């Protein structure tokens, strides 16, 4: 079971899908691992405890039982909602989100994944089943704009190759999110921007950080690992603006930073403006916890480089993804307030 022929037959039996498959270089390609799109904890346990052969047998035996939604599921559904709106306005355009399902699984598991995709009415036509090999080379070939995985090591590998990437976690508590508007929230330093200011904070403290920001107010921050993904979202937003949909745009972006507005926020805003980018909303929290603000925003995904903030957001039910980049990976956040990053 699970041969290439059977997998193709599964595709043939499906309901008609949108016929427009954009070329990777034109699309905003989001690669999602099966372990974050769906809940696969039981299967992972079988793999760890009983090995690969028993795991494959288990998957084939249960191939008609769809996986439950995982932490990236609502994000992917929101991407598809944006695509539907884009197709209404630009029927021939290939500037769309293109979702690629990436999995270390062997082809034998493909039937169950396709059954699950059909069950949840997802529009995912591109699969990358690597049979245990690293997917990073394939991500580059797909021109991947964002990679979401449960495997922190693979995420670090992707970041090292210049691919925007983040680690996702299964949370027991998930807040209800918008069905009609994609909401994406970003931390600033070491996410949209480099970790330059974070390094100053770690080595010179809060006073040194504030002085450095004042002295460098007109010096642009270097780019961070997710800068280009924000740019990709901005490019699609402008397509809606061009058709008169600025106020009801189905994409909304947020900067949620522990920087304080007066003393260190201006440099962040000037940098975004110089890049030709903007977020719809910018929240400068001056060290206050991010969780309550994120609970009000209810993003489909929030990106932060510090596990302290990721865990705080997850406790409130926000889907938060960790970007393992920069100095904060060496010096984890202590539970104290900070008006820097």
- CB atoms under 10 Å from CB of 76, counted, come to 24
Whether residue 102 contacts residue 141, with contact meaning beta carbons closer than 8 Å, is answered with no
As given in the structure block, the two tokens for residue 66 are: 């769809």
Matching residue, tokens 């193709």:
8
As given in the structure block, the two tokens for residue 46 are: 């079988």
Catalytic residue among 12, 98, 151, 187: 187
* CA 295 – CA 83 distance, rounded (Å): 26
Matching residue, tokens 């507005």:
261
- CB atoms under 10 Å from CB of 51, counted, come to 10
- Residue 98 among the catalytic residues: no
* CA 325 – CA 330 distance, rounded (Å): 10
* 335 φ, ψ (degrees, to nearest 5): -75, 75
* CA 268 – CA 241 distance, rounded (Å): 24
- Catalytic residue set: 187
């Amino acid at each position: 079971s699970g041969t290439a022929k059977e997998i193709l037959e599964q595709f043939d039996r499906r309901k008609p899908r949108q016929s427009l498959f954009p070329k990777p270089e034109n699309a905003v390609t989001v690669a999602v691992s099966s372990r974050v799109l769906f809940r696969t904890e039981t299967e992972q346990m079988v793999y760890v405890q009983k090995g690969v052969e028993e795991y494959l047998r288990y998957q084939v035996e249960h191939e008609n039982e769809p996986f439950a939604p995982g932490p990236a599921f609502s994000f992917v559904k929101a991407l598809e909602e944006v695509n539907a709106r884009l197709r209404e306005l630009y029927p021939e355009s290939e500037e769309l989100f293109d979702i690629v399902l990436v999995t270390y699984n062997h082809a034998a598991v493909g039937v169950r994944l396709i059954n699950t995709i059909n069950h949840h009415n997802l529009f995912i036509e591109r699969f990358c089943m690597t049979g245990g090999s690293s997917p990073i080379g394939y991500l580059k070939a797909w021109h991947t704009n964002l990679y979401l995985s449960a495997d922190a090591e693979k995420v670090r590998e992707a970041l090292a190759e210049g691919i925007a990437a983040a680690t996702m976690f299964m949370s027991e508590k998930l807040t209800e999110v918008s069905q009609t508007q994609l909401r994406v929230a970003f931390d600033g330093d070491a996410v949209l921007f480099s970790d330059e200011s974070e390094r100053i904070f770690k080595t010179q403290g809060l006073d040194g950080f504030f002085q450095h920001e004042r002295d460098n107010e007109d010096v642009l921050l270097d780019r961070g690992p997710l800068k280009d993904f924000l740019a990709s979202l901005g490019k699609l937003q402008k397509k809606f603006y061009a058709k008169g949909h600025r106020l009801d745009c189905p994409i909304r972006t947020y900067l949620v930073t522990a920087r304080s507005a007066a003393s260190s926020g201006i440099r962040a805003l000037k940098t975004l403006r110089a890049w030709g980018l903007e977020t719809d909303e910018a929240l400068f929290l001056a060290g206050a916890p991010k969780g309550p603000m994120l609970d009000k925003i209810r993003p489909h995904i929030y990106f932060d480089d510090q596990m302290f903030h990721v865990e705080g957001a997850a406790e409130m039910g926000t889907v938060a993804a960790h970007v393992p980049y920069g100095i904060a990976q060496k010096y984890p956040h202590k539970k104290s307030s900070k008006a820097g990053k």
